[in-house]
Chain A
C-alpha cells in the first residue's frame, strides 16, 4: 500500500495520494472462552464495504468490541474467517497486520513519555520510513486533525486537553496511511460539546480519506450520526439489523432494535436530513430580522432553531451570506415525503 507512495511535497492533506479503504468480510466468526457457557461472539458474518464507516452498536457485553478486536487479532477468533481486501488475516503475521490497521481507543492511550511527534510517528518508524517522509507526514497528520504542527509537535500528551489528545490519537492511527481503521468508542471520554466537534471533524476527514472504518459505540445517536451503515448487535454479537441509519430509524427489524433506537425515532431521522435537500425560498425583505441557519444544518437542527426562537421561518446562510429561507411548512412537507418513502419501502 503506502510503501509505493512518494514523499508528499505539500504539507497539506492530499486525499489523492492516501490509501483509500478496502472491504472487510467476516465469515461465521466466533469467539468462545473456555470458562463461559455461551459464545462471546457467535458466528457473525458481515460485509464491510470499502470506504464506509460501519458502526457496531449494542448493549454492553453484546460482543461488539470483541468482534472489532478480532479484525486486527488483538483477540484470536475461535473459528471463522476474516478477510481484509480478500486476504485472510489469520494467515498473516499479527504484529505486521496491526501496523496496517489504524487503532483508536476510548482511553486514547497516548504514550506520556513520548512527544506528540514521537507518538504520531510510531508506526511509520516501525515501518522504517525515511526521516524526511516521517517528518512531513507528522505535520500533515497534525494539520489534518486541526492542530498547528509548529505549536504541538514538541509538546507532551499531558500538556494537551482531552479533545486535543483524542485528535492526536486519530492522527497517530492515520499516520501510516492504513486502509482500515478500528475505533472503539473513540469519542466516549470527551465532554458532549467537544464530542460533537470531534465527530464533525472526523466526518470531514473521512470524507477526504475514504477509509474503511469499523466503529464501536453503545450510543445510538452517535451511531446514526457517524455511520454509513449500522449493525445493531444483540448478545453473542448476533446481528439484529444491519442497514443504513435511515432504514433502521424508519423500519426497525424487530422489538430489540426498536427498543435500542429508543424514543423519538422520527426526530432522530431528521438528524440525517440536511437542509441542502430542500428547495429554498428566496429571501424576502421581511426575513431580514429572522434567525439564521447554515446550509449544512440538519432538519433536526432547523426545527430546533425554529422552536428555540419561536419563528416559523429562518434565513439560510452559506459562508455567512443569506442564500434563501426555509419555513416550518417546508420541513413538514419533507417529513411527509420521508414517511411516504418509508411506507413504500415496507410495502415492497
Chain B
C-alpha cells in the first residue's frame, strides 16, 4: 500500500512521508481496516435479510411495491450525516447509532433490486409451477428466489459499496473504522500528518470497496444456478 509514493509531501503538513507514517501506524491501520470491513459486512448482511424478507412481503402488491420503491428513492436523497445528527439525541454516540443508519442505506438498493427481481420472473414460469401443484412457499423458494437471485445480488453489490462509504461517515458519531482518520484530519487541518490521515482513509476505504466487489464476483459465480449463468 502506497509503497511507491514514499516521498509524498502535501503542502499543509510537515509530518512523515506517507510510507513511513503507514509503517509507524501499521497496527492501528490494520485494526481499523478490519473493523471497517467487518462492520460494513454485517450491515450488508442485515440489509440483505431485511430486503429479501420485505420484498417477499410486498412484491405481489402493485401498491406496496410502488410505495417501497418510492421510499427508496426518497431515502437516497437524505444526507447520511443529517440522519446521524437526528439519531444522536435518541441513541447517543455509540455503535447503536451507526449500525441502523448504515443498514438503512444498504437496504435501499437491496430492497429495490429484490422487488424488481422477484417481479421480473416470467409469469409463464409461475403458471407452470402453480399448475404442477407447487405451494406458494415452494414456488417462492425453488423458483422465484433462484430466478431473481442475480438481480438481488446486483443490488447487494451496490449496497456493499454504500455501506463501506457510510461506515466511514459513521466515525463522526462513534470511534469506529477508517473514517476516524478523515475526521481527525479535518479537525486538525494544517497540523502534522493530516495529509497522511486523509490519504490513508481514502486509500484503505477504496481498498475495502474493491475487495468487496471482487468478493461479489465470486459469490455470483458460485451461487448463480448453472442454467441461468451468463
- Interfacial residues, chain A to chain B (CB-CB below 8 A): 72, 74, 95-101, 103, 105, 107-115, 122-123, 126, 156-158, 172-173, 182
Contacts and interface: CB of A to CB of B under 8 A. Distances in A.
Given A113-B146, A113-B147, A105 B127 contact: yes
Lowest 7 CB-CB distances: which A-B pairs, in order? A109-B128, A99-B133, A103-B131, A107-B124, A156-B227, A98-B133, A113-B225
8 contacts: A103-B131, A105-B127, A108-B124, A111-B129, A112-B228, A126-B133, A157-B227, A158-B227
Interface string B206-230: 0000000000000000000111100
B133 A156 contact: no
B134 to A, nearest CB: 7
Given A72-B131, A98-B133, A123-B133, A109 B225 contact: no
Contacts of B122: 107, 109
A101 B134 CA distance: 12
Interface residues of B, number: 20
A74 B226 CA distance: 30
B143 interface: yes
Nearest to B149: A113
B130 A97 contact: no
A39 B152 CA distance: 41
Nearest to B135: A95
B130 A74 contact: yes
A182 B131 contact: yes
Interface in B113-135: 122, 124-125, 127-135
A114 B225 contact: yes
A115 B227 contact: yes
Contacts of A115: 226-227
Contacts of A173: 132
Contact of B133 (A95, A105, A157, A158): A95
Contacts of B143: 111
Interface string B133-151: 1110010000100110000
A231 B155 CA distance: 50
A103 B132 CA distance: 6
Given A111-B143, A113-B225, A113-B227, A123 B124 contact: no
A109 B226 CA distance: 17
B124 A105 contact: yes
A109 B127 contact: yes
Contacts of B138: 126
Contacts of A105: 124, 127-128, 131
A35 B132 CA distance: 29
Given A72-B131, A74-B131, 16 more contacts: A74-B127, A95-B135, A96-B133, A98-B132, A98-B133, A99-B132, A101-B133, A103-B128, A105-B128, A107-B128, A109-B128, A110-B128, A111-B125, A113-B147, A126-B132, A158-B227
A172 B138 CA distance: 17
B134 A109 contact: no
A72 B138 CA distance: 18
Contacts of B228: 112-113
B133 A109 contact: no
A112 B129 CA distance: 12
B1 to A, nearest CB: 41
Nearest to B131: A103
Contact of B125 (A72, A109, A122): A109
Most buried by B among A99, A101, A112, A123: A112
Contacts of A114: 225, 227
Contacts of B131: 72, 74, 98, 103, 105, 182
Most buried by B among A99, A100, A107, A172: A107
Nearest to B128: A109
Most buried by A among B122, B129, B130: B130
A185 to B, nearest CB: 12
B230 to A, nearest CB: 10
A156 B226 contact: yes
Contacts of A126: 132-134, 138
Nearest to A118: B227
Contacts of A182: 131
B120 to A, nearest CB: 13
A178 to B, nearest CB: 10
Most buried by B among A107, A113, A114: A113
A111 B127 CA distance: 11
A97 B133 CA distance: 7
Contact of B134 (A72, A95, A100, A108): A95
